[in-house]
Amino acid sequence: MTANSDDDVLKDDAVAHHDHDEGSALPEVALRVRALESLLVEKGYVDPAALDELIDAYETRVGPRNGARVIARAWAEPEYKAWLLEDADAAIAAMGFTGRQGEHMLVKENTPKVHNMVVCTLCSCYPWPVLGLPPVWYKSPAYRSRAVSDPRGVLEEFGVTLLPSQAVRVWDSTAELRYLVLPMRPEGTEGWGQEELARLVTRNSMIGTALALNPADLAGTEQEGG
């Protein structure tokens, strides 16, 4: 892999041609699913609200919860972190998270010097076993293009402002290789257990469009919900 500047779009050499498996067959499948959904709703077999709730669960809760457990373990166990960065497939599989769209993954670690962000410039390749379904914005043409041309601008729109000295590296996922970001562990979490740490990890922080929550953020969220 090569880097030409501080803000780079990077590909693994093995997938530089960016071959995707979401070609002509995907629109046909998507249309069939939409038609089936419309028919089931029309016949009264499916409640649209319940369907939206189910999709939201997989998109924002079930999948990301798996990824959060992976990140929390990496924060808590240096040996596991080293394994995760060296062989993400094996390290993630050891926690029981495997399946379609997650056959081959790489984990990129955020540091004070480098911030990583993930995109799929041609479609919506995404590591389902650890992140669930991709959010709508991840699949949008605007994100797919601007994450490459203006990554700092995109990050600012997500509320992330980096130091000028911090490089941005944008990783382009493909059907053969999908990326997961290991966010920096927040300060003030020394002595925390993995379950506590996992609550600080959000879906967006594992895509790179957010930072992990800090303890104050978590406390504020709990107060609002309580």
Query: φ, ψ for residue 50 (rounded to 5)?
Result: -65, -35
User: Is residue 125 flagged as an active site residue?
Assistant: yes
Which run of H or E residues covers position 52?
A: helix 48-56
Nearest-angstrom CA–CA distance, 218 and 65: 15
User: Is residue 24 flagged as an active site residue?
Assistant: no
- Summary count for the chain: helices (H), strands (E): 12, 5
Task: Name the active-site residue from 5, 125, 140, 173.
Answer: 125
User: Closest by alpha carbon to 205, among 84, 81, 60, 53?
Assistant: 60
Specify burial of residue 134 (Cβ count, 10 A radius: 0-12, 13-18, 19+): buried
* Dihedral (Cα; 87, 93, 98, 104), 10-degree rounding: 10
Q: How far apart are the first and last CA of the chain?
A: 48
Task: Name the active-site residue from 5, 38, 120, 140.
Answer: 120
Other residues' Cβ atoms within 10 Å of the Cβ of residue 168: 21
Task: Name the active-site residue from 123, 140, 149, 165.
Answer: 123
User: Is residue 5 flagged as an active site residue?
Assistant: no
Task: Name the active-site residue from 5, 124, 149, 165.
Answer: 124
- 79-83: long-range contacts at Cβ-Cβ below 8 A with a sequence spacing of 24 or more? 81/182
User: Is residue 123 flagged as an active site residue?
Assistant: yes
Catalytic residues: 120, 123-125
